[in-house]
Amino acid sequence: MKRIILILLTVCSFSVSAEFIHPSEFNNSDTQKETVMAYIKDRVKKDYCKTIDMCQEVMLRMMETENLDAFKRLTRAKNRKVLDRAIHDYCGMVDMCTYQMIEMMYDENVKAETKELTW
C-alpha cells in the first residue's frame, strides 16, 4: 500500500533528461545498463525532489532500487502487447513513467485479461 501511495504522489510533471529504455528491447550491454540506471536516477530525483518534498537520500536509494528491480522483472515480461500499452499509457498519456508503475500496471492488466465480470 505504501508503494502505491508513493507512486501516485508522482503525478506532477517535470522533464527527465535520460533516455527511457523499453524493457523488451534491453540487450544487457553495459551502455544500456548505464542508460537505464541514469534514467531511473533522474526520474526518482524528479519525482521525489522536485515533485514532492521527500528528497532524502534513503528514500532516493530505496526508490532507485525498487525501479531497477522492476525493470529487471519487466525484461522477462511475456505479453509485449500489454507491456507496450502500459508504457504508452504511463509514459505517453500521463507523466508517471517509472518502471515500478509500468510493472504494477502490466501485472494488473495481465491478471485482468483472464477475469470476467461475474455475479
Domain ranges of the chain: 22-113
Helix or strand holding residue 63 (H, E)? helix 57-74
Q: Which pLDDT value is given to residue 1?
A: 47
Is pLDDT above 50 for 56? yes
Is pLDDT above 50 for 9? no
| First-residue to last-residue Cα distance in the chain | 28
Q: What is the mean pLDDT of the chain?
A: 88
Q: Which long-range contacts (CB under 8 A, 24 or more apart) does 48-53 make?
A: 48/10, 50/14, 51/9, 51/10, 51/11, 51/12, 51/13, 51/14, 52/9, 52/10, 52/12
Over the stretch 64-101, which tens digit does the pLDDT of each residue have?
A: 999 999 999 999 999 999 999 999 999 988 889 999 99
Ramachandran angles phi, psi of 57, nearest 5°? -55, -40
pTM here is 0.81
* Residues 88/105, Cβ–Cβ less than 8 Å: no
**Confidence class for position 108, pLDDT limits 50, 70, 90:** very high
Q: Which pLDDT value is given to residue 3?
A: 53
**Confidence class for position 5, pLDDT limits 50, 70, 90:** very low
